[in-house]
Structure 1
Amino acid sequence: MDAAAPRGVISVSSVCSVCSRRITYSRNMLVNIRAYYVGKTDEFWCDMDSLCRYGLLSATKPAASRGRRKRKRFEKRQRRGKRAGVHARLKANPTRPAVPSLLFSNVRSIDNKLDELRLLRETHKEFKDCCVYVLTESWLHDNIPDVAIQLEGMTLFRADREAVSSGKSQGGGLCIYINIDWCVNATVAAKHCSLLAEFLIVKCRPFYLPREFTIMLVAAVYIARSANAKANGNEALGGLHEAISELLTTHPDSFVVIAGDFNHTSLKTVFAKFLQYVDFKTGETTHWTWFISTHHRHTKQPPTPILATLTTYLSY
């Protein structure tokens, strides 16, 4: 009952559920409605003219209801919030990992595998978002320019085999590709080519880096098959050990990753404090491929068969 109505007059206010507007009724209007439609409730609500006459329904077409949409029986409910965890954060920001994801492969001539590598980058998200590519035995020479082997969105660093230093005119060679979404501040820190060993070290300062690390050092290594683990194994790894030691002296808080094809040589005598992440055999009897780092338990490395018949390792 409306408090502002005169004495003896009843005023009732209601909201029409059809046209969504407020309607006020006097006492005489309510009495007339009751007297005319006693026992005819169903007929009253079905008579559109009566509803319009008494102001219960607008003469125009009512607007569509803005209520909650009816959910289908098998419709999937929308999840609220977002998933938590390290894996979810890495998936949302693949170019900002604490430790860079790395792809390693002994390609044996990269020239005839560039089309396949470009296709994998277009069709596989894990290869497109990978931070670093380390490729050994690129078989490149001076007649192949950088433009011919360039990948879109990647910065190329190459170290071709030198005929004078190695005594061989074919084979060998190293390539490191850096994803520009992960890092654009990258330079060559060291390069070496000899009869027994070849290595290329790239120093990176990515956009996102944990507080405990100052720089990232990525090294690609290839040890020739002629290097014997007992006779000249330490000689082949001597240059690499010297270069890594100098960089660690200059940057003691750096994160070092060494990946390469070491054939029959063993790194345990030279890099005793480094951890090997490949826990499966990559050769006939032992590990020929090594992926070592200065920090433990930061990555996992499943084998991924790509690039023709060669085995490739994707670390993340």
Structure 2
Amino acid sequence: MWTKKLEIFAVVCIFLIIFEALGNVDGSPGVSSSRVTYSRDFLLSLRSSAIGTKPSNIPGELCKPGQRTKPRKRGRRGGIHRRLKTLRLDDRRKLPPLPSILLSNVQSIRNKIDELETHAKFKDEIKNTCLLAFTETWLSDLDHDTELTLSGFGNPVRLDRDRVITGKSRGGGVCFYINKRYCNTVVVREAICTPDIELLSVSLRPFYLPREFQQLFYTLVYIHPRADASAACQLIADVTHRLDTISPGAPKFILGDFNHCTLSKSLRTYDQYVTRPSTHRNTILDLCYGSVHGAYKSLTLPSFGASYHSSVYLMPVYKAS
């Protein structure tokens, strides 16, 4: 009697084992008390079917958390230049702590406004640049801001050459264009025109700013080739000291066409970021000084129109703490 019952129990156990093993033949997961198993053929079929398709065909338990809706991209180029080219200012999470800048001596912006408008609309490197800084704008009171508007940037923040003070009938002048997607709060702090220098200083409070910065100060200058270099440098230093009293810990940058002048003696603690020649004579005339060590890396871009100055693109490399 007991022998017959043992034989029946053994047959039932063998049958259950065989049934569980056969349950995985078609590739469906076999459920046990501790884990889910898949056959090798089933996993290989998932790999081949997932190429070029969304990962929705892959079971959820095979995906890592956060990777079930978006596949990992491979083979993409890296580097700060590549990231800035593809940067969209609408994505605030990816904004750099300092603005990207395009600095150029345009030699009459009035004649190049159509070219600038085309770049501002269709060239990503210009369209997504935070600040456009132009020297030698050659503007006067006869030029209205509505004629100088750029798409995405609006009207320029400008300082024209004063013909009465300087005694020069043409030339000179500086202006900023601020990307509206980067900053709308702009305050003009200094606007000075002398026979030696034209200087325009603004403070910015952009939409995104690292917590270690209260605001940003940018000073754009144009120094005449026959100007008194020591007087021009002393005026820049005086303006910088006045800005220090407004916000001592805020970063301050001075950029523009310096010609034969240098701030290495008047502002000894400031870094100079431009390292490549900006003219056909292999000279560096367009400079950028700043109070933040290693804040920018410079690149040389083509000039606008027939200007003999190449444009300088300043990429922010500073990392917020």
Q: Give the aligned partner of residue 272 of structure 1.
A: 268
User: How far has the Cα of 1:314 moved from its partner?
Assistant: 1.3
User: How far has the Cα of 1:240 moved from its partner?
Assistant: 1.7
Q: Give the aligned partner of residue 177 of structure 2.
A: 177
Amino acid at match of 1:80: P
1:287 to 284, 288, 300: 284
Amino acid at match of 1:279: T
CA distance in 2 between counterparts of 1:266 and 1:314 reads 20
Mean CA deviation greater in 194-203 or 152-161: 152-161
Mean CA deviation greater in 306-315 or 105-114: 306-315
Q: Contact 1:138–1:174 (CA<8 Å) still a contact in 2?
A: yes
* Local SS of the residue matching 1:219: strand
CA distance in 1 between counterparts of 2:220 and 2:294 reads 21
Percent identity, aligned pairs only, is 33
Mean CA deviation greater in 200-209 or 292-301: 292-301
Q: Give the aligned partner of residue 151 of structure 1.
A: 150
Q: Give the aligned partner of residue 307 of structure 1.
A: 304
* Local SS of the residue matching 1:154: coil
CA distance in 2 between counterparts of 1:71 and 1:81 reads 16
Amino acid at match of 1:305: P
Amino acid at match of 1:125: D
Q: Give the aligned partner of residue 224 of structure 2.
A: 224
- Distance verdict in 2 for CA 1:185–1:265, change over 3 Å: same
Amino acid at match of 1:304: L
Q: Contact 2:276–2:300 (CA<8 Å) still a contact in 1?
A: no
1:40-119 aligned within 5 A: 71=49, 80-81=71-72, 87=80, 91-94=86-89, 96-119=95-118
Answer 1 or 2: which has greater helix percent. 2
CA distance in 2 between counterparts of 1:125 and 1:261 reads 25
C-alpha offsets along residues 137-176 of structure 1, whole Å, 9 cap, x if unaligned? 0000001111011112214201000012111121111110
1:234-245 aligned within 5 A: 234-245=230-241
Q: Give the aligned partner of residue 258 of structure 2.
A: 262
In structure 1, list runs of 5 or more residues that go unmatched: 1-66
Instruction: Report the RMSD for the aligned CA atoms in angstroms.
Output: 2.8
Q: TM-score, normalized by length of structure 2? A: 0.70
- Distance verdict in 2 for CA 1:120–1:261, change over 3 Å: same
- Distance verdict in 2 for CA 1:243–1:276, change over 3 Å: same
CA distance in 1 between counterparts of 2:282 and 2:103 reads 20
CA distance in 1 between counterparts of 2:205 and 2:300 reads 28
- Distance verdict in 2 for CA 1:136–1:246, change over 3 Å: same
Matched, 1:127 2:123: no
Amino acid at match of 1:160: D
User: How far has the Cα of 1:72 moved from its partner?
Assistant: 9.7
User: How far has the Cα of 1:80 moved from its partner?
Assistant: 1.4
Amino acid at match of 1:166: T
User: How far has the Cα of 1:269 moved from its partner?
Assistant: 1.3
Q: Contact 1:197–1:237 (CA<8 Å) still a contact in 2?
A: no
CA distance in 2 between counterparts of 1:175 and 1:287 reads 20
- Count residues with an aligned counterpart: 245
